[in-house]
Amino acid sequence: MATQEQILSRRTFAIISHPDAGKTTMTENLLFFGGAIRDAGTVKARKTGKFATSDWMEIEKQRGISVTSSVMQFDYDKFRINILDTPGHQDFSEDTYRTLMAVDSAVMIVDVAKGIEAQTIKLFKVCRLRGIPIFTFINKLDRQGKEPLELMEELEEVLGIESYAMNWPIGMGKEFVGIYDRYNNRIEQFRTEENERILPLDENGELLGDHVMKQTSYYKQAIEDINLLNEAGNDLDLEKVENGKMTPVFFGSALTNFGVRTFLETYLEFAPTPQPRKTDADELIDPVSEEFSGFIFKIQANMNPAHRDRIAFVRIVSGKFERGMTVTLSRTGKTFKLSQSTQFLADDRETVEMAVAGDIIGLHDTGNYQIGDTIVGGKRLFNYEKLPQFTPELFVRVTAKNVMKSKHFYKGIMQLVQEGAIQYYKTLHTEDVILGAVGQLQFEVFEYRMKNEYNVEVRMESIGNKIARWIQNESNVLETMSNPRSMLVRDRYDRYVFLFENDFAMRWFQDKNVDIELYSLL
Ligand code: G4P
Residue 10 has pLDDT above 90, yes or no: yes
Beta strands in 330-382 (DSSP E): 335-337, 341-345, 348-351, 354-356, 360-364, 374-376
Strand blocks (E) in 112-239: 134-139, 162-165, 167-170, 178-181, 186-189, 198-200
23 lines ligand 1 (CB under 6 A): yes
Q: Ligand 1 center to residue 461 CA distance, Å?
A: 38
pLDDT(33) > 70: yes
* pTM (2 d.p.): 0.84
Regarding beta strands 423-427 and 394-400, do their DSSP bridges make them parallel or antiparallel, or are they unpaired?
Answer: unpaired
Closest ligand 1 atom to the C-alpha of 252?
23
Say how far apart CA 365 and CA 310 lie, in whole Å.
5
Q: Cα(359) to centroid of ligand 1, in Å?
A: 29
Q: Give me the mean pLDDT over the 340-348 stretch.
A: 55
pLDDT tens sequence across 290-336: 999 999 998 877 655 555 667 888 999 999 999 889 999 999 999 99
Is 120 a pocket residue for ligand 1 (Cβ < 6 Å)?
A: no
The rounded Å distance from CA 84 to ligand 1 centre is 19
Measured from the CB, is residue 29 less than 6 Å from ligand 1? no
Query: Given ligand 1 and candidates 20, 190, 263, which is best to mutate, with the most ligand atoms within 8 Å of its CB?
Result: 20
The arithmetic mean of pLDDT across residues 189-198, rounded, is 85
Ligand 1: does its nearest atom lie under 6 Å from the Cβ of 253?
yes
Distance CA 349, CA 486 (A): 47
State how far the alpha carbon of 315 is from the alpha carbons of 40, 121, 341, 477, in Å: 27, 26, 13, 39
Q: Find the 209 Cα to ligand 1 centroid distance in Å.
A: 37
User: Of 294, 507, 311, 499, nearest to 397 (Cα)?
Assistant: 499
Question: Does residue 68 surpass a pLDDT of 50?
Answer: no
The pLDDT tens digits for 399-420 are 999 888 889 999 999 988 888 8
CA–centroid distance, residue 41 to ligand 1 (Å): 11
pLDDT, greater one: 256 or 38? 256
C-alpha distances out from residue 407 to 445, 447, 455, 491, Å: 20, 16, 11, 20
**Mean pLDDT (whole number) for 180-200:** 89
Which of left, alpha, beta for 115 (phi over 0: left; psi -120 to 50: alpha)? left
Quick one: three-class SS letters along 457-510?
CEEEEEEEECEEEEECCHHHCHHHCCCCCEEEEEECCCCEEEEECCHHHHHHHH
Q: For a pLDDT cut of 90, what percent of the chain falls above it?
A: 49
Overall average pLDDT of the 375-403 stretch: 90
- Reduced 3-state DSSP string for 399-415: EECCHHHHHHHHHHHHH
Alpha-carbon span 36 to 402, nearest angstrom: 47
pLDDT at position 63: 43
**102 CA from centroid of ligand 1 (Å):** 27
Bridge partners for 155 per DSSP: none
Helix (H, G, I), strand (E, B) or coil at 106: strand
pLDDT at 67 over 70: no
Q: Quick one: which atom of ligand 1 is closest to the CA of 19?
A: 4
Confidence of residue 481 (pLDDT cuts 50, 70, 90): low
Q: Is the CB of 138 under 6 A from ligand 1?
A: no
Closest CA to 289 of 351, 382, 387: 382
How many A from CA of 22 to the centre of ligand 1?
A: 5
449 lines ligand 1 (CB under 6 A): no
Separation CA 489–CA 487 (nearest Å)? 6
Cβ count near 71 (within 10 Å): 25
- Higher pLDDT: 169 or 91? It is 169
Produce one character per residue of 180-206: b if its CB has 16 or more CB atoms within 10 Å, e if not: bbbbeebbbbbeeeeeeeebebeeeee
Who contacts 81 (Cβ-Cβ below 8 Å, separation ≥6)? 10, 11, 12, 13, 30, 34, 73, 74, 75, 268
Ligand 1 pocket, residue 88 CB under 6 Å: yes
Cβ of residue 19 lying under 6 Å from some atom of ligand 1: yes
Tell me how far CA of residue 288 lies from CA of 14, 137, 300, 513, in angstroms. Answer: 22, 31, 28, 50
69 Cβ closer than 6 Å to some ligand 1 atom: no
pLDDT digits (tens, 9 = 90+) for 115-129: 998 888 878 887 888
**Do residues 106 and 127 lie in contact, with contact meaning Cβ atoms separated by under 8 Å?**
yes
447 CA distance to ligand 1 centroid (A)? 30
Q: Which of 280, 352, 349 is nearest to 321 (CA)?
A: 352
Distance 437 CA to ligand 1 centre (A): 30
Q: Whose CA is nearest to atom 24 of ligand 1?
A: 140
List the one residue out of 124, 160, 133 whose CA is nearest residue 241: 133
Q: Parallel, antiparallel, or unpaired for β 105-111 and 10-17?
A: parallel
| Mean pLDDT of all residues belonging to the chain | 85
Calculate the alpha carbon distances from 233 to 12, 150, 236 in Å.
29, 13, 9
| Average pLDDT for 34-43 | 59
SS3 29: helix
**Protein residue whose Cα sits closest to atom 17 of ligand 1:** 22
Q: Is 142 in the pocket of ligand 1 (CB under 6 A)?
A: yes
Average pLDDT over residues 414-434: 88
pLDDT at 236: 96
Q: Are 116 and 143 in contact (CB under 8 A)?
A: no
Nearest-angstrom CA–CA distance, 283 and 289? 13
- The pLDDT, as a whole number, for residue 370 is 87
Q: Which residues in 116-213 belong to E strands, given as ranges?
A: 134-139, 162-165, 167-170, 178-181, 186-189, 198-200
Query: Which domains are delineated in the chain?
Result: 13-70+88-270 (3.40.50.300), 277-376 (3.40.50.300), 394-519 (3.30.70.3280)
| Strand, coil or helix: 81 | strand
Ligand 1 atom with minimal separation from the 139 CA: 23
Res. 49: pLDDT tops 90: no
Helices (H), 233-377: 238-242, 260-270
* Structural contact between residues 47 and 66, judged by C-beta atoms closer than 8 angstroms: yes
pLDDT recorded at residue 57: 47
Helix (H, G, I), strand (E, B) or coil at 110: strand
Most confident of 221-230, 305-314, 336-345: 221-230
Rounded to the nearest angstrom, the distance between the alpha carbon of 383 and the centre of ligand 1 is 41
For the ranges 65-69, 257-261, 356-360, which has the lowest average pLDDT?
Answer: 65-69
The pLDDT value recorded for residue 118 is: 84
For 188, 206, 289, 333, 334, the CA distances from 379, given in Å and listed in that order, are 54, 61, 14, 10, 12
Ligand 1 atom nearest 258 alpha carbon: 23
CA of 494 to the centre of ligand 1 (A): 46
Q: How far is the CA of 74 from the centre of ligand 1 (A)?
A: 22
Residue nearest to atom 14 of ligand 1 (CA): 20
Residue 420: burial class (beta carbons within 10 Å; 0-12, 13-18, 19+): buried
